[in-house]
Amino acid sequence: MRTDCYDVYSIYRVIETPQDFLPNGYPTRRQERDSAVSTGIGARVARKEDRRLLSGQARFVGDIKLPRQWEAAFVRSPIAHGRILKITKPVAFADRVFTVEDMDDVRPIRAESSLPTYNVSDQYVLAKDKVRFVGECIAICIAPTRAEAEDIAEQVQVEFDPLPPLVDAARARESDAPLVHEDWGNNLFLTTDFDSGLDEARANAAVVIEREYTTARQCMNPMEGKGTLAHWDEKAEQLVVHTSTQVPHLIRTGLSECLGLDQGSVRVIAPDVGGGFGYKCVLQPEEVSVSWVARKTGRPIRWTEDRREHLVAGANTRQHHYKITAYADDRGRILGLDAEVTVDIGAYSVWPFTACLEAAQAGGNLPGPYAFQHYRCKTYSVATNKPGLTPYRGVARPGVCFAMELTMDAIARAVGREPSEVRKDNLVQADQMPFTNVTKKFYDSGDYPESVVQAARSIGLEEFRARQAAARAQGKYLGIGFSTFTEQSAHGTKVFAAWGLPLVPGYEQAMVKITPSGSIEVRSGNHSFGQGLETTIAQVASEWLTVDIDRIKVTMGDTGLTPYSTGAYASRGMVMAGGAVSKAAEELAGRVKTHAAHLLQCSPEDIRLADGNAYAGEAHVSFADIARSWYLRPDLLPDDVNTAGLEVTEGYKPEIDTGVFTYATHAAIVEVDTGTGKVAIQDYVIFEDCGRRVNPLILEGQAYGGAAQGIGTALFEEVLYDANGQPLTSTLADYILPGPAELPHFRLDHAETLSPYTRHGIKGVGEGAAIAPSGAIVNAINDALRPFEVELNQIPATPERILSALLATDPAREAAE
Amino acid sequence: MKPAPFELSQPGTLDDARGLLAAGDADCRIIAGGQSLGPMLNLRLARPDRLVALSALPGLTECRETESHVEIGAAVTHARIEDGDCPEPIPGMLRHVAAGIAYRAVRNRGTIGGSLCHADPAADWVTAMTALGATLLISGEAGTRREVPMRDFMQGAYRTALKPGEILTTVRIPRYSAGARWGYYKICRKVGEFADAISAFVADPETRVCRVVFGSTGGAPLERPALARQLAETGAAAPLDEIKKDLLAAQSDLSPVKLQQMAIAHQRSVQEALSHD
C-alpha cells in the first residue's frame, strides 16, 4: 500500500560551501530551523494559502459574481484549415454575437522577435479570413448564462472553403506543403544553426550512435482551466480584468496593446489561480475578446474555459522530433553531438514568449549537464494547423532531456558499460565549476556526478542487477533507468534579450511594510498559483524581520496593488520575488533598528531583532511600539527621522543574468508486463540540488507534482489528430492523465549547494521534476526489454507501442527467453 | 459544455414512466444514474427533448434472492453491488466487477441497468452478465413483460434489443453451485479507465456450464465456446496462439495488439481464478 508522501524519506544533506563564497553576508543558516519558533528561510511550515484552498474558500475567476454579469461562449472552428466565406449571426441575437468585423479597432496578437529568419504571425483574436486550427475562435456570444450563450453559439452559421490541412511537422518542411501563412512562402517560424565543429569528434569516435526520438503533443491540464471576467469601472475609468494568469503585469501590457488603451486604463487582477504550468503565462485571444465585449456592452462578461475547449484549443505543447548522431570514445565519453530538432509550433506564435523560445531552449539545452565541447544543432520551428505552442513546465527541456538521456543509455549499451557510470564520466565534474558549456550556459555551482552516485545508491543499483537476472529467469522483466538534467532558473535580462523576445525581464520589485499594529505586508507583482510563493516569500520577510508568517500578509497578482513584475515563469518566482522581498525586508529591518534605537536610546548597531521585537540587551520594544511611533505618535520621533518611513520598495536581480542551475538525477525501476505492454513503476528516486531550500515541505510538493506530470508525459499523455487535423482526444476519456494509482511512492533526497550569485543561495525549482521522468522511465523500459532487443524511442510509451515493438520481434527469440 | 434545453420528468411509478415514453410527441430518453448520458448531454451529442428519470422508481432499486436466481433491480448502483448490498449468484464475482468500474464517484450514481442499456462495448456489465448467463426482464407497452437472454440483448456498439417505450426493470442471474469458479480480467491504461480488453469466464462443473466471454471488442461481447470447452476439459486456458486463432476466426479485424491483450486477458482470468483455490 502507498502511504502518505510527506514522510520520512527526505534526507537532509548539506554540501559544505566555503563561507567566503557567499557575498555580502546573507543569512546562511545551515540547519533546518525549529518551526515552532521560526518561520524564516528553511522552515518546514505548512502553506499559508492552504486553509482557504482546502476548505473551498478560495476565490477563483469562476467564483466571482458582479452585478449585471453575463457569460460568454465562443464559436470555434470545426475544421483545421480553411477560408471563412461568410458568417451569419442568428437574427434574434444579432446584438449578442461579435465577430472580427465588429472588432476593427482591435489589433491582432503579434509576437515580434529580433532573431534572424523569424516569421511573425498575426493572430486575430477572432479569426479573420482564415481558420488555422480546430478550436480557433470565430465569434463570441454573450447571454445571462453559459448554457444560453452556447445555444446562441450553435445558431451562428459559418461557411468555409476548406483548405488542405497541415498536420505533420515533417511534411511542413517540404516545399510543396500547404501554407499555414501564405505570405511567408514557407512554414518556418524560425530556423537556427549552431555549429562548433564536429570534424575532430567524428575522426576520433570509436562509437557512433544514431537515433530518432519523438515526443507527443500535450495539454497542460491545470485543474482550473483558463477564465476571464472583464468589466469597465466607471469610477476608476479602467478596464478591470480578473483573469486566471501567472503574469498579470504582462497581460496588462498585452491587453493595452491589442485594445489600444493606455496601460493606466487597464487593471489586471489574478485572483486565486488553480495551476498554470505555462498555460497561463501568455496572452490568450479569449482574454482580449472578453475585455473588448465588456467595454463595448458596458456589462461584466465572463468566459470560463471548459475541459473540452482546453483539450482542443489548448492542445499546444511539447511536440518535438529529434535526429541525433552521437560520437563517443570506447568508454562512452561523448566527443561530439550532431542534432536536428523539429518543433511543431502550430499555427500562431504566442505572446510574449514567441514561437522562438522552444527551439532556442531545445538547441541551447540539449547538451544538458554534460561537458562535451563539440556540438552541432539545427532547429526547425514549423507552422502546422494546430494550436500555437506554449511553453510548459520545463519548456523544451523535457524533450531534450528525453533525447539526451536515451542517447546516453544507447551509448552505454554500445560500449557495454553501466549507463550510470557512463553518465558520471560525461557530466561536468565538481572541480570544473563554475563551468561554461558548449552552448555558453554558465553552470554556477554543484556536484553533478554526485547526484548520480546518490540516486544509484538510493535506488540500490548494485543489488538490482542480480534481482533483474533472477526475475528474467521467471519471465518478469525489470529495468532500471537514470536521467540527469540541469534546470536553468531565473535567467534574466541578457538571456531573454538574446532570444529576441518583445518583453525582457529586468529588476523584479517588491514592497514590504509594517502596518500600524506591527504586522507585515508584502506586495509582489509575481503570482502564486500552486507553487506556494505566498508562503515562501513571507518566509523570506520573516527571516529578516523575525515576525511569524501568520502576521505577514502577502498580496500578489493585482496590477493595481503591486509593484511591477513580469510574473511567474522560468522557475524564477522564488529567486526573483524572494530576492526582491529579501532586499526590501533587509532595508526595512535597518529602518526598524534605527527607530528602535531612538526609542531605546541606544545605537542602531546595538539592536538585535528577534521574535518580532527589537532588543538592546534585555530592553526591548515591539514592532507594534515602533510602528505606533511612526504612524500614530510621530511626536516621539526625532526631527531627523527617515522620511521614507516603514515602507520599502526594492528592485532585485541576481548578480548574473545567465540563470542559476538546479540539477537532479532521477532513477526509476520499472516492470514491463510483456503480455499486456503495461509498465509498473516499482521505485522512483529523485536526488536534487536546488540551492537553499526555503521550505522543504513545499519543495517536496513541487518535486512530487512535477514528477507526476513527467510520468504523464512518459507513459500516458498524447493529443492525437486524424489526417484532417481533427483532434481525437477531446475528452479526458481519450486524453489519459495519470491518477494516484499510476504514480509511485517518490523518494526524494537533497543536496544543498548554495548559488553564489543569488540572495540566500536560492535556485529555482518549479519546473525541474517534470523534466527528467521520460528519460528515466523509458531508459528503464529499454533496460527491461534488452533480452528482446527492443528499444522504444517515442513517448508516451503506451502499452500499444510496447506490445507492437515486442510483437514485431522474432517470435522464436521471444520463445527462447 | 452545457446541455441543450430539455424537460426533465420524474415519474412516481413504472406505469407513469411508460406513459411518458409512449406519448410519442417528443424525443424521449431514459436517464438513471446519468454517468454515460450526462457527458453526452453536456457535449450536445445527445439532444433529447425530454428525459425520464428512473432512479427513484420503487422496484427498480431492489435486489431479491430465490432458490434458483438472484434478481437485481435495474436502478441498483454499482456502489451498492461493490459494497455487498446485493446477493451474489457466485461468491465474489459481482463485487469484484462492480469495484473495477470507473471511479467511486461514478459507481455512486451509475446503475447496472443503465450500463446494460447504454451498451458501451468497453463497459463491464455487458461482458460479466453474458458470462453469468443473465436474463433481462423488460417492461413494455400496457404492462406487458418479456424476457431477453443477455447474449441476445446487446446487438452491437450502443445497440440493444430494447424497443421504443420499453424499460429494463430487472437483471436475473442464475445461482451457481458451490464448486463453480469465475474469472474476470481486464486490461486498462489506468485504474478506472475504459478497458482495452476484458475476458470473463464462469465454470460450474455440477451443472456442466462453462462460458468464456470477451469484452471491449468494439461490438457485443464475444462468447467463445471452443475456449470454454478447452477450459472445462483441462482446467486451464488454451495456449496463446490457439486463443488468438480462435478469436481471429470470430473477428478477423482484430489488430495484433488487441488480439494479444484479449488472449492474455483470458489466460490471466483463468490463472487468477485458480490461484484463489
Chain B residue closest to A805 (CA)? B257
Alpha carbon of B222: minimum distance to chain A alpha carbons (Å): 20
pLDDT at A579 over 60: yes
Cβ atoms A806, A790 nearer than 8 A? yes
Tens-digit pLDDT profile for residues A279-325: 999 999 999 999 999 999 999 999 999 999 999 999 999 999 999 99
Residue A765: is its pLDDT beyond 80?
Answer: yes
Which residue from A61, A68, A127, A65 is spatially nearest to A297, judged by alpha carbons? Answer: A68
Region A199-228: mean pLDDT is: 98
Determine the Cα–Cα distance for residues A491 and A298; give it in Å rounded to an integer.
Answer: 41
CA dist list (Å): A383 to A81, A169, A174, A349, B20: 12, 8, 12, 9, 54
A499: pLDDT confidence band, cut at 50, 70 and 90? confident
pLDDT greater than 50 at residue A3: no
Give the pLDDT band (50/70/90) at residue A210: very high
Interface A-B: count of C-beta contacts within 8 A: 61
Each residue's pLDDT tens digit, A771-784: 999 999 999 999 99
Residue A185 burial (CB count, 10 A): 10
A28-32, A315-319, A405-409, A443-447: range with lowest mean pLDDT? A28-32
All structural domains of chain B, each given as residue ranges with its CATH number in brackets, are 7-53 (3.30.43.10), 63-174 (3.30.465.10), 181-275 (3.30.390.50)
The interface pTM score, or ipTM, of the predicted complex is 0.95
Instruction: Report the length, in residues, of chain A.
Output: 817
pLDDT tens per residue, range A424-472: 999 999 999 999 999 999 998 999 999 999 999 999 999 999 999 999 9
CA separation for the pair A798, A673 (Å, rounded): 12
Average pLDDT over all residues of chain A: 93
Each residue of A12-39: b (16+ CB within 10 Å) or e? Answer: eeeeebeeeebeeebbeeeeebebeebb
* CA neighbor of A410 nearest in space, from A471, A462, A337, A318: A337
Q: Peptide bond preceding A27: is omega within 30 degrees of 0, i.e. cis?
A: no
Contacts of A731 in chain B (CB under 8 A): 39, 43
DSSP state for residue A745 in the 8-state scheme: -
In angstroms, the separation between the Cα of residue B264 and the nearest Cα of chain A is 6
CB contact burial B80-112 (16+ within 10 A = b; e otherwise): bbbeeebbbbbeebbbbbbebbbeeebbebbbb
Quick check: A578 and A589 in contact, CB under 8 A? no
Q: Nearest Cα to B102, choosing from A70, A73, A733, A145?
A: A733
Q: What is the mean predicted confidence (pLDDT) over A35-49?
A: 83
State the pLDDT at residue A810: 61
d(C-alpha A677, C-alpha B126), whole Å: 25
Model pLDDT for residues A715-746, shown as the tens digit of each residue? 999 999 999 999 999 999 999 999 999 999 99
| pLDDT above 80 for A29 | no
pLDDT at A495: 87
Average pLDDT of span A40-62: 95
Contact A143, A154 (CB under 8 A): no
**Adjacent-strand bridge partners of A208:** A327
Contacts of A742 in chain B (CB under 8 A): 190-191
pLDDT score of A501: 85
Least Cα separation, residue A676 to chain B (angstroms): 6
pLDDT for B277 equals: 58
Q: What does the pLDDT look like over A140-195, one tens digit per residue?
A: 999 999 999 999 999 999 999 999 999 999 999 999 999 999 999 999 999 999 99
CA distance B219 to B122: 9
* Residue A33, pLDDT score: 38
Q: Of all residues in chain B, what percent carry a pLDDT higher than 90?
A: 93
Let me know the angle formed at the C-alpha of A702 by A699 and A708, rounded to the nearest 5 degrees.
140
**Partners of residue A733 in chain B, C-beta under 8 Å:** 193-194
Instruction: Judge: A804–B196 Cβ closer than 8 Å, yes or no.
Output: no
What is the pairing mode between strands A520-524 and A552-556? parallel
The phi-psi region of residue B205 (left if phi > 0; otherwise alpha if psi is between -120 and 50; otherwise beta) is alpha
List the domains of chain A with CATH numbers.
32-59+507-652 (3.30.365.10), 221-313 (3.30.365.10), 334-493+656-816 (3.30.365.10)
Whether A482 has a pLDDT exceeding 70, the answer reads: yes
Dmax over CA atoms of chain B, in Å, equals: 57
Indicate the range of A165-179, A385-399, B48-62 predicted with least confidence: B48-62
Q: Which residues of A touch B216 (CB under 8 A)?
A: none
Residues of chain B with C-beta less than 8 angstroms from the C-beta of A147: 2-3, 5
Q: What is the pLDDT at residue B112?
A: 98
Q: Is the pLDDT of residue A763 over 70?
A: yes
Span of A9-23, A229-243, A538-552 with lowest mean pLDDT: A9-23
Tell me if A281 sits within 8 A of A52, measured CB to CB: no
Nearest CB neighbour to B189, from listed A147, A675, A716: A716
CA distance B116 to chain A (A): 19
User: β-strand A746-751 against A679-689: which pairing, if any?
Assistant: parallel
